[in-house]
């Protein structure tokens, strides 16, 4: 999933591009969320123990609804305006990756059956996680739920990630929230991780800014895309023996995949035959997305109370009191999103004072310090 | 080299008490003109601007413009160790990564040194343009604090409206509503008890009471408070600090939601 090792690569080489932010500080912001990713997480995490899942009377799984309902309310209560983007048809290049995932799931299903027979609890836990698959039914349930909640839903023509990034680039949303790092490769100007994590885990939101990443890595957007392809993406294989760190070095040295291919030692690195890196690059640069105003209309509306009760309580066996309370929360949250921010009135200016603290060692450029083990976010406080 | 000696040390203690809950970490900027600070709360809704002019210090030495990043919670812990009558001196050497607070008792029989580590803080500095405000209200600071505290027990937000009649503070909550109107009143015994309203145009703005109540922690610094309002700008709540400066709090108003978002019913 996503780009291999990109988080670590960025933490080591572009620590200034990532910032820890408080969940609450995103009030009033429109945020595009990759729905499929979230649903997948909910199916794994919410109300599951071993092979047991949260279900309604008919035995259909409802973990995704529970997760989607409570997390979305949490976003709304914090004053955020979420937009959920659903996957459309996967691009042809991703089919290979999907086939791989499918076969992994088949393996896991077999392993699970064995584990159940053997009664090994740890293995049951491990393999049942791997058998989780988001079906069309799950997606449709969530879309229906979100529409009832008054939260906009966008159905992407192809990859949800790409559509999220397009919304962000065109300024329709403030940021993209996902756990999948390829949002950055698609060029989402601001990208948030851990936004959808449960509050109980107390993990701060990690904000990435593409412009700063490029500045810190000293790469162009095209070079960054090449770097991601070399590190390993969903669309094609990567060259064996080249990971993120080497890829960054090669890109800095040669500038593009084409030039790298001309210059590297072909005996040492095996370049895959028929390597479709150009198509992969095209998918990142010009993905199939809606840009039309009509197709991506974002409107937040009051919740449909009766609809929610029918759907959640009557059809899916949710506790009626809890749903009613939750609806009250959604309605109360509507007033919260109107707090203004100072940036909309005052513009940043450069501060003229220099810090009194001496730089650690003269001539130690920020880049070099960055290469040492500066942990993500932790690099700000010295001493 | 930096050395600032403030005879009325309690001032800096009170300043810290008034801002430490709003801002966690901040850069203090020192220049020939004075000791200042600008910082925003983590959600970028409120901003505090502090200025203590160099003339107000008994001794003020600052060789070049420098900034010192401090954790305000820790700074407040140290300043709490100073007595209210103590003389406070703030010292830092060039290139040092610590700042020293020295507390001298008025009789000079006790001298305490506290050294605190500085931090690297990358904070955004906002340019605040000089503006003509549509309405400026000056009133007793204790009265303002009382109003904000009372209203917060009823609702979350306060609407401040200034008209010819006076200034009105109102709120609405689950249990009911509250309206407090103050009229201009200059016939008082002491000048600081006056309520003075200067208005060029009526104005009405909505603010979160949580922030207002945080600002009123500065009440011990000054017996009066000045509230400046304009439709297109954040409110400014200003407390003068003796003869030497001010602490100003800026708060972004609540904005009416776009109407179009309410028009359509969810399509299911």
- Residue B47 and residue A346: Cβ atoms within 8 Å? yes
> Nearest-CA residue of chain A relative to B206?
A339
Please state, in angstroms and rounded to a whole number, the distance separating the CA atoms of residues B244 and B12.
12
Min Cα separation A204/chain B (Å): 13
- Surface of A (259-318) touching B: CB under 8 A: 299-304, 307
- Residue B257 and residue A302: Cβ atoms within 8 Å? no
Instruction: Write down the residue that tokens 């945080």 correspond to.
Output: B214
pLDDT exceeds cutoff 60 at A364 = no
Min Cα separation A234/chain B (Å): 34
Instruction: Tokens for A166, please give them.
Output: 């397009």
pLDDT exceeds cutoff 80 at A31 = yes
Q: How confident is the model at residue A48 (pLDDT cuts 50, 70, 90)?
A: low
- A359 interfacial to chain B (CB closer than 8 Å): no
Specify burial of residue A67 (Cβ count, 10 A radius: 0-12, 13-18, 19+): buried
Specify burial of residue A383 (Cβ count, 10 A radius: 0-12, 13-18, 19+): exposed
Among partner residues B44, B68, B255, which is closest to A343 by beta-carbon distance?
B44
Listed ranges A48-62, A299-313, A342-356, B10-24; the one with the highest mean pLDDT? B10-24
Collapsed DSSP state (helix, strand, coil) of residue B81: coil
Q: How confident is the model at residue B266 (pLDDT cuts 50, 70, 90)?
A: very low
pLDDT exceeds cutoff 60 at A383 = no
- Of the candidates A286, A273, A284, the one whose C-alpha atom is nearest the C-alpha of residue A235 is A284
Q: So what's the ipTM on this one?
A: 0.81
- Residue B266 and residue A302: Cβ atoms within 8 Å? yes
Chain B residues within an 8 Å CB radius of A302: 262, 266
Chain B residues within an 8 Å CB radius of A77: none
Residue A175, CB-side half-sphere exposure with 13 Å CA sphere? 22
> Nearest-CA residue of chain A relative to B29?
A353
- Of the candidates A66, B76, A126, the one whose C-alpha atom is nearest the C-alpha of residue A118 is A126
pTM over 0.80: no
Listed ranges A9-23, A108-122, A221-235, B228-242; the one with the highest mean pLDDT? B228-242
- Surface of B (51-110) touching A: CB under 8 A: 64-69, 92, 94-97
Please state, in angstroms and rounded to a whole number, the distance separating the CA atoms of residues A155 and A35.
10
Among partner residues B2, B40, B67, which is closest to A355 by beta-carbon distance?
B67
Among partner residues A304, A345, A356, which is closest to B234 by beta-carbon distance?
A345
Average pLDDT estimate for A214-242: 85
pLDDT tens digits, A307-358: 999 999 888 888 889 899 999 888 887 765 478 888 888 888 877 677 776 5
Average pLDDT estimate for B19-23: 94
Min Cα separation A222/chain B (Å): 29
Q: Are strands B98-104 and B245-251 parallel, antiparallel or unpaired?
A: unpaired
Q: Are strands A153-155 and A81-86 parallel, antiparallel or unpaired?
A: parallel
Contact partners, residue A304, CB within 8 Å, separation at least 6:
A148, A149, A150, B265, B266, B268
pLDDT exceeds cutoff 60 at A290 = yes
Q: How confident is the model at residue A52 (pLDDT cuts 50, 70, 90)?
A: low
B206-to-A216, B105, B160, B231, B235 alpha-carbon distances in Å: 41, 45, 6, 10, 10
């Amino acid at each position: 999933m996503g780009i291999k090792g990109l988080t670590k690569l960025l933490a080591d080489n572009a620590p200034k591009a990532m910032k820890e932010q408080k969940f609450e500080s995103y009030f009033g912001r429109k945020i595009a969320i990759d729905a499929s990713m979230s649903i997948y997480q909910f199916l794994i995490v919410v109300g599951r123990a071993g092979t047991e899942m949260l279900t309604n009377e008919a035995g259909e799984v409802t973990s995704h609804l529970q997760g989607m309902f409570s997390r979305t309310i949490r976003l709304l209560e914090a004053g955020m305006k979420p937009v959920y983007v659903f996957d459309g048809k996967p691009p042809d290049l991703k089919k290979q990756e999907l086939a791989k995932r499918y076969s992994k799931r088949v393996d896991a299903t077999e392993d699970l059956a064995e584990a159940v027979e053997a009664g090994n609890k740890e293995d049951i836990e491990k393999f049942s996680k791997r058998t989780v698959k988001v079906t069309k039914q799950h997606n449709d349930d969530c879309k229906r739920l979100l529409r009832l909640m008054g939260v906009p839903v966008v159905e992407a023509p192809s990859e949800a990630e790409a559509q999220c990034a397009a919304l962000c680039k065109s300024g329709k949303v403030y940021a993209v929230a996902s756990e999948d790092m390829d949002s950055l490769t698609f060029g989402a100007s601001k990208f948030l991780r851990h936004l959808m994590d449960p509050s109980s885990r107390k993990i701060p939101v990690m904000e990435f800014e593409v412009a700063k990443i490029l500045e810190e890595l000293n790469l162009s957007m095209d070079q960054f895309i090449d770097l991601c392809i070399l590190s390993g993406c969903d669309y094609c294989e990567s060259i064996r023996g080249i990971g993120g760190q080497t890829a960054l070095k090669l890109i800095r040295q040669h500038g593009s995949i084409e030039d790298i291919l001309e210059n590297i030692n072909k005996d040492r690195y095996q370049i895959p035959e028929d390597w479709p890196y150009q198509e992969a690059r095209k998918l990142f640069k010009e993905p199939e997305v809606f840009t039309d105003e009509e197709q991506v209309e974002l409107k937040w509306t009051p919740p449909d109370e009766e609809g929610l009760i029918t759907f959640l309580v009557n059809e899916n066996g949710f506790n009626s009191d809890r749903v009613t309370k939750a609806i009250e929360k959604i309605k109360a949250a509507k007033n919260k999103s109107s707090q203004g921010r100072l940036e909309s009135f005052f513009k940043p200016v450069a501060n003229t004072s220099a810090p009194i603290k001496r730089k650690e060692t003269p001539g130690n450029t920020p880049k070099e310090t960055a290469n040492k083990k500066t942990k993500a976010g932790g690099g700000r406080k010295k001493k | 080299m930096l050395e600032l000696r403030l005879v009325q040390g309690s001032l800096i203690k009170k300043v810290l008490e008034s801002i430490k809950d709003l801002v966690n970490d901040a850069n203090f900027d020192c220049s020939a003109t004075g000791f200042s600070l600008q910082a925003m709360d983590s959600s970028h809704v409120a901003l505090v601007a502090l200025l203590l002019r160099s003339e107000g210090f008994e001794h003020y030495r600052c060789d070049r413009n420098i900034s010192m990043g401090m954790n305000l919670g820790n700074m407040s812990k140290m300043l709490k160790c100073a007595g209210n009558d103590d003389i406070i001196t703030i010292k830092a050497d060039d290139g040092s990564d610590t700042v020293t607070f020295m507390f001298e008792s008025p009789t000079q029989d006790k001298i305490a040194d506290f050294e605190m580590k500085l931090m690297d803080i990358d904070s955004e500095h906002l340019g605040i343009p000089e503006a003509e405000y549509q309405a400026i209200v000056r009133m007793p600071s204790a009265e303002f604090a009382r109003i904000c505290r009372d209203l917060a027990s009823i609702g979350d937000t306060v609407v401040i409206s200034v008209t010819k009649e006076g200034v009105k503070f109102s709120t609405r909550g689950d249990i009911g509503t509250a309206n407090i109107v103050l009229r201009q009143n200059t016939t008082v015994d002491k000048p600081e008890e006056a309520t003075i309203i200067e208005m060029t145009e009526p104005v009405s703005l909505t603010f979160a009471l949580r922030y207002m109540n945080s600002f009123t922690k500065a009440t011990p610094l000054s017996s009066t408070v000045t509230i400046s309002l304009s439709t297109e700008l954040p409110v400014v709540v200003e407390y003068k600090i003796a003869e030497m400066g001010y602490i100003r709090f800026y708060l972004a108003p609540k904005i009416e939601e776009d109407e179009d978002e309410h028009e359509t019913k969810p399509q299911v």
